[in-house]
Each structure stands twice: as C-alpha cells, then as structure tokens.
Structure 1
C-alpha cells in the first residue's frame, strides 16, 4: 500500500498515461471500504486538534472530469467531521460580480480560516483548464489588451501557472496546508457513469447534454491537465493522481493521503491551559462542585 501511495504523487515530469485509473489488482474495494471507516475517524480527531490549535488551515482541492465522483467522495471522506470546522465550496461558472475581479479573487475569499478545513470542489485550476479548452471564456474577464482570442499572448498560460504557484506559496507561508487531488477517471468509465445517469431515475437529474459536448473534448482536457499538473505540483502544494474508476478505492486513497500528511505536522497539539487558569484550577473545580 505504501508503494502505491508513493506512486500517486505527481512531479514536473508527470505523464498522464503512466498513471492507472484502476488499481483493483492492488487493493480490493472491500479493503478500501473498511480502511476508510477507520481513517475518517482519525482525520476527524485531527480536525478537532487543528481547530483548537488555531494556527493552521487546511485546503483540500479536487479536480476531475464530469462523473469522477467528487461530490460523493467529499461526502464520504469528511463524514465524521464537526460541521463547524469544514466548509465546502463548489465553483461553477463565474458570476458577473466575480468577473469584476481578477480570476483568483473568488478563490482567495473562500480560503479556510485558521483552525478550519476548506474543500474546493473544482478549483482555481478551472482557470487553466476550462478556459484553455474554451479560450473564448477569457474574454469575459475584460483583461486589458485582450478583446479577441487572437490577442491572448503565447506566454499567457505559463504566466497563469506562475501566478497560481505564487498564490499557493503565499497561503502556505501563512499557515494553510494545501493538498490537491486529480480524480483520474478512464473515458470508458465516464461513459458508463453517464449512461447510468440516463438509465437510473434517481440519477436522471445529474445528466446534462453539455456533458457530451465536453466529453468530445476529452483529449484536449487530458493534455491540459497534464501540463497544468507538471507546472504546479510543488513540494509545498503537491498534486496527487487518484485512480478513480472505483469510487470506494478513490475515497480511501484520498483519505489515507490526507491522514498521512497531517500526521507529519508534529507541532499541531491541543493548546495548554493558560497559566493563570492552571494556577486556580483546583479552586474553580471546588466552586463548581459546591454549586447546586
């Protein structure tokens, strides 16, 4: 298992096709289901300490193609969390107000407070993925000097990678732990899940014809995901490539990585009682015991 987890980390030489979407030969779904039950309790316990410690925030980012399982993964992995300590943001098409600001603004204002977890369901990487596949969307940002797709300079996307790296470095330097997960789904499995949305009544509401239009651009998305991950997987904010053809296994692997990473922060501890309270603790205890 440790060997598998090590292989999930992406670097600047990341090649999409070298990472499997299905690892059921290495871990069974039943093992993953049982493992998650234990791990999510441990993560919830660490959440409580982080909340009390109030020095770190944790930002968990999820990216993936439609049907990759982001929603259900978030529900299952963070099931045992205290609701006051975690906030989930699902980023959709930017609103008119958001477009009045720079592209990172809406993500910056959604960052978690000290002591809390923030979960980004789709992230600031939409700005180098969806806009890369559909560069005409950039025109909605009203960037000076860009009035047509042809005006987008050749180094535009490299500049955005640099800006995103700087943004993540800034939040890490100020106490936010950043973990980024790409839910790596095969095209065949996506087809099966889209068919299920059409065939099963309880999933009908999830289907959109737009899913088919984006699916037709699969190869472009994979190429731009690869480039984005190569340029933005850093020691301070790493990318993890999660095999996602099996939802139970994907959930387990994400939870295991979160747990392992948080355990490395040995300075995260419950704060000690203030000296002036510690000094009079016995008296406070007697006072409470003598109360009716």
Structure 2
C-alpha cells in the first residue's frame, strides 16, 4: 500500500485510502493553512462538514494549493438541521458556495437521528436523501454516504433510497472498533471510514501502544493510522501542525504483525467509545 493507492467505491469512483480530517480545526487562517499544508504533503482527500464551520477556510486552502480539482477528493456533510427536502437542497448549495467548488466527491448525512428530527428521523433522512440524489443528477455531488449510521438507520434508508451509500463514516480506532456495523457495512458494499483514528488525542496516553510503536520505530499516531489501514478502514487523521501532518502520512513503509494487531485489538475502551447516534444532544 502507498499514498497513491485508492479504493474503488461501489459506484465506480475512486477514493484515496487515507484522508485529512478537519473536525475541531478552527475556521480562518488555521484551517486554510492546515489544508494547504496537507495537500502539499501529499494528501488528496480532504474531509470537512457544515457543522465544523470551517468550509470556507477549507475551500481557501484547497484553492491556495494550486492542485487541480480533478486530483482531489473532497467530502462534506449535511448538518443536523438539514433533514428535509428543501433544507438539504439549500445546505448542499451553501456548502458548495463556501468551498468554492462546483461539486463535491462525497456528501454525507452527518447524523442519523439529531434532536431536530428525533420523533421523525426516518422521514427526515428519506427527504434529505431525495434531495441528495437530485444533486447527484445535477452534477453537484458524485457519491453519497452517511456518517454515524447504525444498521437500523441504514435498513430504513434503504427502503426509499434509489442510490445506495458508498461510505459510512464512524468513530473508529483501536478503542472502539464497532465490529457489528463494520460487518454490516461490508455485507452491503459500504466502506467504513474512521474519524478520530487517534481517539481525539487520548490514544497517546496508552502505554501498550507506546511500547508497540517503539518496536517499529514509529509514533503512536503512525501506529494507529497504520492499524486503520490494515483493518480496511479509511482513516482521517487531523492536525494543524505541519510536521505532524507530514508525519501522519509516513505510514506506508511498515506493516503491523498479526501478533501486534492482536495486542492492539485488546485495547478496547481504553480511550473512548463512539457516541450513541440515537442519544446525541444536538
């Protein structure tokens, strides 16, 4: 595996095997510079969301990079107040405007059951998905996906969807491997993408990971990202520091042994678990 490698999505489009995350990256010059540095370092897959409130700066970083649009894979997401037909249409156009793009490569429903639609999430997702499908036909979106969806959310979406999701973005790292939904994704041809592959920073406190990382002469971050790759996940590491942005890409020159994978897989619950999407308070 190399930085140039891609997965082929179920609809035929290609997605880089590693992406650059921007969750918790402050809007303004910080986000712009981080995205610029990521693209300069070799990332070709950038992930943002309307809820991150940094789409404008992410778009500016993309533009400043000078890399042609065709070489990049850009993802953004529908916010929790966009779960109706018209709201979703408006949200898609707003994101494109903020990003200064004619289209995004991947558009996700960010949360399946936010507070705004808790009593009618099935209908809300179906209406938003219809608007998203129309945006695909209009050339505004190339691929559709979801984030934080569990099997019952997807089962319901499949009842009305004409276009099947190609990605399910989840909280995925050695602390919470979400085996049930990952297996479900695989059985439906959906790739699992991991936000917080470093456990929002808590991973660095785990002594066992430090010992294993030293064995490979790698950092804990590099070990965790490599773990994600070997699980078949698409990790989305985030950083605002140029040296760490580059460091997080230096994961293609080693392979974690089966023995060490077992050791890593025993660290469940050590630095966080996924939020329950049916109980989130937003």
- Relative contact order, CA 8 A, sep 6+: which one is greater? 1
Q: Return the index of the structure with the highest Cα Rg.
A: 1
Q: Which has the higher helix share?
A: 1
